[in-house]
Structure 1
Amino acid sequence: MPLTDALNFTAGLRYTTEKRSLNAEQILGGVPVPPSNYEQEKRYSKPTWRVALDYKITPDVMIYTSYNRGFKSGGFNPTTPGEDPFKPEQLDAYEGGIKSELFDRKLRFNLAAFYYNYKNIQVPYFLINTIGLKTGPKATIYGVDFDFEAHPFQQLRLFGGLSLLHDKFGHYPDAALSPPNPPPLGGNQSVVGDATGNRLPFTSTFSGNIGAAYEIPVGDSKITLNGNLYHNSGFYAETDNLRRQPAYELVSGSIQWTDATGKLTVSVWGKNLTNEAVVTMLAASGFGTGASYQPPRTYGATLGYAF
């Protein structure tokens, strides 16, 4: 809703209600374990909203601020059907920043600062025989995001971005921890301990990318060269902050030919060209630590046609 020629106000309200149910049976050696049947049902309802103001300093430069509330419903862990359900997660997100397109739209850059306040954050846990979600404490994340796209001349496009994050759990004295067993034993313990102030799983202090695309005319067709470099400072995989993915870089690129109509394309591409080993999961168990990884070096060719 415009308040003036330059100032706009946005507001939205949503009400969500979700019903979660669990019907489970525990069987050991083909024999039901009493109580063998678990039937639970829970309804989660919550209003959420968005409120925002934006102001155009010039036709090409806008500043804005916003406040959003979101929620994720709670639920049940099928691996531990006798437990109480984990609680719904609530997020209050505050953001402010600037969006701009300058020099006859040859340069676009956006900058945002944000503060996220989580309540009852749903924390994944990996214990010796179970995997699931549990109700965690409060948690905060704040930082800045920046991205840009520039066209120094017609054939060249430069792009990139970065993100700086600070995050930590609040008071969390009953976290699920998995410290290694003392030598000469292998594997890990499964204990309850204090994770207050620890980093959230899979959050990185710094990440960023830089890339370029260059077009080469070939008669009435064209060839486009693309390259991108992504850097991540690393992250912890679990609440106890004991197992970490080190810093890494991912390199990708492609060469694409486009015909004179702009509809037919043929491209050769490669992802993770340096073959970095990057985890998507690290899970401690009584026998050791299991891991799954992003795809290794991958390459191929693609034929496309736009109708």
Structure 2
Amino acid sequence: MGFSTLRAGLMLGCALTGVQAAHAQSASDSAPQAGLQDIVVTAQRRVESVQKAAVAITAVSGTDLIRAGISDTTNLQRLAPALSVQPSGGTTSIYVRGVGTQAGNSYAENAVGFNFNGVFIARPTAPSGVYYDLQRVEVVKGPQGTLYGRNATGGAINVLPNRPKLGEVSGDVNVEVGNYQARKASAAINLPLGPIMALRLAGQVVDRNGYLSDGYDDDKGEAGRASLLIKPSSNWSMTLVADYYHQHGKGSGNVLLPSSVAGAPALSARIGGSDPRSVAALQSYAAGVAGPPFCGGLGQLVTSGCVMAPRGDGYMDGDFWGISAQTEGDLGFATLTVIPAYRSSSSNYRSYLPGFMLQVSDRSKQMSLETRLASKDEGSLRYVLGGFYFSEDQSAINYFSQGNLATTLFNPQLRTQSIAGFGQLTYLVSPRLRLVAGGRYTHETRSQTTSLAAGGLPNAVNPPLGAAFTGNLSFNKATWKAGVEFDAGPRSLVYANVSTGFKAGGFFVAAPPNNTFAPEMLTAYTLGSKNRFMGNRLQLNFEGFYWDYKDQQISFVGGVPSSSGLYTQGGVTVNAGKSRIYGTEVELRFAPTQSDQFGATLQYLNGRYNSLKTAVFSNTGAPVPTGCTVTGSRLANPGVNAARFYDTDCSGKPTVYSPKWTLNLDYAHTFTLKNGMKLVAGARTAIKSDFYLNVNFQENEKQAAYRMSDAYLTLEGADRRWELTGFINNIEDRAVLVRAGNRPILNVSYGTLAPPRTYGMRFAYHF
């Protein structure tokens, strides 16, 4: 059935000569023009129109980002159907079509590469505070093992800021106010510094109260960026960029799922997990749960402190900054690009997202250097050749407390070094037919020095810190791409390719030797087409894809050996998964008049784990709730306590964060007023079928099908220098889960919600 569905979709795409593309045209452009407008992208490391790029990509212009109120990666998924983003305390987990990582501690790395201004950012704590004064954002779907390399198994996100311009004084100011006492202001100014230099300064301040009753899910931060362009000749330029972001507030919160605990507040009420009403529901539930004698026996697990309820003392305190210098030189036969960069991340936070406390202090320093040589777009052979170096030093203190029954403290010192060489060739068989081949070879080493204090019974509180243990890993991996491109018409591209990607292996929190996992690999088969018809008024793009995912890194709450030799509860990552993911995506944009634009994107996604077997750990020995088949159990610490392993088989289950159907619709109409001003009315809606949020596959950790809609009304001045927008997002006020997980010991579920209905006014002035 899977192959037949894909085959039918591919045949449809070929018949229409129609791939997935981009929000290339901003429906909110201040001066509507005949036909659809293109957006220029650099996803393939060369400048090209998104409609000419033989790659599955969603590109969103800076104007569209402002109009949609996109201020972070989490909100970006409203405009990119293939993307799912989950905030988690001080980290951000990113998924593309079900491929991603649950980033829960300092060891975690995303499987979707995040790049800012051409610089790869390793830490899942760090992709924050960059969504202002942007040129565009690119979401590249599928493994990017050739041109991007490490940790781009599922794809890549490229955030591109505006660059300085020579000889021009310009800028803009944006101010926004809304409910939840939301206040946001951003500004940018471009200043010429003589004939060969220009400076661009930009900044943003965000201050919003929390969406939850206990103050969590707030947004507070300040960011600044300075960019200096030096262009001594028409052939050479250097752009120096320095950016800084300070994040504070309470951070992401949780809600007790009423499907898990009878009497828990309704999700629509957005009652936070530390709210007395939620805590009372948890205590009522725990009244029927037996505990050990020192916890007061039956019903006293929570009131005795043996199990910690969420509290209201969570916080975020992060500082992120970086510098880069991008040099570009025209050598005549090719363009040379060199990007050295340094980034620093300092993240301190306390969160209760899984229902218990985690407190993290994480410091990371990374250095990178990428050098590329891209040929001119002329001749029969075109190429991109390059080298990449990356190093990161990370130190952290991670403290997890479930109360007086289990605590874990570990302080990893991690070091990563990666070096790679890559190249991609395009050979023109004819003016219309091209062959593509590329490859990358990566050598990566990782090392750790970690001390671990993990406590279960009988030493649950303040367990002794064990002796430091070390570890070293080394990986060598070749990834590649092969494809064909054909211009079926002046504005029609058909392409097919096979590409691979990998995510490096690493460590998880446990005493050696069983504390490592191997790399994961993904091979993607893609057939697509991009088309413009009717005098550039109709765009029809199609993509069919089949992904083969092997040695999949699965993270879950399992049993980890402590330095004492006893097993206790902790985060485990194992190569337990093997899955196949296939589907189609069709994107339609239609501008029947200068004043109207329709858009529709439909994605069909069928993801399933062919093999997924894990050993789930129970501190108390009680059965662990799961939607999978339990094939057996065994004592973890015989003769010491009742802790048990439960072997589970989740093979055949759908991949997480993989709604089978996703439909995005949008429409905008521009009214031209008599005084020369314009009024733009627009709306968009996203419809998704149900999907699981966790590899436990419990029904109460599953998001039901939903629809979420936004609308806006913009008045533009006659001189196009100012605009006033009224907006409303999540009109339905749906309580949509973006993350859910089981709180161990009590075995109840907590979740994180997407933003509620928000509304406000936005004013922009351009000069």
Is the TM value for this pair above 0.5? yes
The structure with the greater share of residues assigned to strand is 1
Match of 1:303 in 2: 763
Pair 40,109 (structure 1): closer, same or farther in 2 beyond 3 Å: same
Say if 1:268 and 1:43 are closer, same or farther in 2 by CA, change over 3 A: farther
CA distance change for structure 1 residues 30 and 208 in 2, over 3 Å: closer, same or farther? same
Are 1:126 and 1:283, in contact at CA under 8 Å, matched by a contact in 2?
no
Q: Is 1:23 aligned to 2:463, yes or no?
A: no
The aligned runs of 1:1-307 (5 Å cut-off) are 1-27=427-453, 29-30=461-462, 32-34=464-466, 36-78=467-509, 80-82=510-512, 83-127=514-558, 129-174=569-614, 176=616, 178-179=624-625, 191-218=646-673, 219-242=675-698, 243-284=701-742, 285-287=744-746, 288-306=748-766
Deviation at 1:7, TM superposition (A): 0.6
In structure 2, what is the Cα distance between the partners aligned to 1:298 and 1:105?
35
- Bigger shift: residues 121-130 or 133-142: 121-130
| Partners of 2:740 and 2:751 within 8 A in 1 | yes
Q: Deviations over 1:43-68 (max 9, x none)?
A: 33322222221111211222110111
Instruction: Write out per-residue CA displacement over residues 158-192 of structure 1, whole angstroms, 9 at most, x where no aligned residue.
Output: 001111111111233336494269xxxxxxx9732
Deviations 1:77-121 (A, max 9, x none): 23x354421221111011002210000011001111100001111
Following TM superposition, by how much is the alpha carbon of 1:127 offset from its aligned partner in structure 2, in angstroms?
4.8
SS class of match (1:130): strand
The one-letter amino acid of 2:535's match is D
Q: Distance in 2 between matches of 1:304 and 1:179?
A: 51
Checking the alignment, whether the CA contact within 8 Å between 2:544 and 2:585 is kept in structure 1 is yes
| 2:27 counterpart residue number | none
Q: Which has the higher helix share?
A: 2
Q: Is the 8 Å Cα contact of residues 576 and 611 (structure 2) preserved in structure 1?
A: no
- The whole-number CA distance in structure 1 between the counterparts of 2:546 and 2:678 is 44
Q: Judging changes above 3 Å, is the alpha-carbon distance between structure 1 residues 289 and 297 closer, same or farther for their aligned structure 2 residues?
A: same
Q: TM-score normalised to the size of structure 1?
A: 0.89
Q: Who is 2:338 aligned against?
A: none
| Structure 1 unpaired stretches of 5+ | 182-188
Secondary structure of the corresponding residue to residue 5 of structure 1:
coil
Aligned 8 A contact 1:175 1:239 in 2 = no
Query: 1:31: Cα distance to partner?
Result: 5.3
Structure scoring higher RCO (CA < 8 A, sep ≥ 6) equals 2
Q: CA deviation at 1:244?
A: 1.2
Query: What residue is the counterpart of 1:184 in the other structure?
Result: none
Q: SS at 2:501's partner residue?
A: strand
- State the match for 2:159 in structure 1: none
Distance 1:306 1:3, change over 3 A: farther
TM (norm. structure 2) is 0.37
Tell me by how many angstroms 1:30 deviates: 4.7
Q: Equivalents in 2 of 1:300, 1:45: separation in Å?
A: 52
1:198 and 1:240 in contact (8 A); partners too: no
Show the counterpart of 2:104: none
Q: CA deviation at 1:270?
A: 1.8
Identity %: 23
Alignment partners' CA distance in 1, 2:766 and 2:615: 52
Letter of the structure 2 residue corresponding to residue 296 of structure 1: P
- How many Å apart are 1:250 and its aligned residue? 0.7
Aligned partners of 1:136 and 1:174: how far apart in 2? Answer: 7
* Counterpart AA for 1:239: V
CA RMSD of aligned residues (A): 2.3
- Asked if 1 retains the 8 angstrom alpha-carbon contact of 2:626 and 2:696, the reply is no
- Summarize the Cα distance change of 1:22–1:298 in structure 2 as closer, same or farther, 3 Å threshold: farther
Larger Rg: 2
